[in-house]
Amino acid sequence: MPFVPTTGGVRISMDYEVEGQQCANVFHVRADTPSDVSTLEGITTVFYNWWNTNVKPKQHSACVLERIVATNLDDISGPQFIRTAGLPASGTNGSAALSNNVTIATTLTTSRIGRSFRGRSYWCGLTPDDLLDVNHITLAAAAALSAAFDLLIEALATNGTPLAILSLVANGAPRSEGVLTNVTAVHTDNTIDSQRRRLPGRGA
């Protein structure tokens, strides 16, 4: 798909290495002021602090955050900042690792309905301690993941760069400009999902 500019849009990629496989969690935020390198650096700091405090303790030690990449989406040649300070760093949950593909989906919702206005984030680093049975994590684990995302929403709002859902396609065709809609709530289902591309040799 061709590049679709998004006024005020910033793409955040949290790049992991998990058991030799490259994995990523991608988010979008709204930066109403021009997102120069300094702004991008500040956004990566919010994500790093959130990960370090609220995510790392839940991830097994084979899940390694290597970098956080913030890219300005206003223009195809816009600025980018890559945070490596304090990284790479591993999860600190002492439990064993589950298979790379085993994950849980947290749904990010907005004040609007439809596929263009909601998204999902697939967790890296689940452990056997999270499991209720072979197909579910415990309700407590699901609630803890939702609480972590609530803290991310709060931190980004305080930073003036709210978490948002980015829509680049409408009716099957690329938009002329991306549409950002602020995330207002999250929900983590406790049924296990699979991210096959996170398996070794499948691609990031």
Pairing mode, strands 63-72 and 21-30: unpaired
> pLDDT tens digits for 30-86?
998 878 999 999 999 999 999 999 999 999 999 999 999 999 999 999 899 999 999
Q: Which residues on adjacent β-strands are paired with residue 131?
A: 137
The CA distance from 174 to 69, in Å, is: 24
Q: Which two tokens stand for residue 202?
A: 């499948």
Alpha-carbon distances of 82 from 6, 37, 195, rounded to whole Å: 20, 10, 25
Question: Would you place residue 203 in the very low, low, confident or very high pLDDT band (cuts 50, 70, 90)?
Answer: low
How big, in percent rounded to 5, are the helix, strand and coil portions of the chain?
25, 40, 35
Q: What is the pLDDT of residue 181?
A: 96
Q: The pTM is what?
A: 0.94
Q: Residues of the chain with pLDDT > 70: what percent?
A: 99
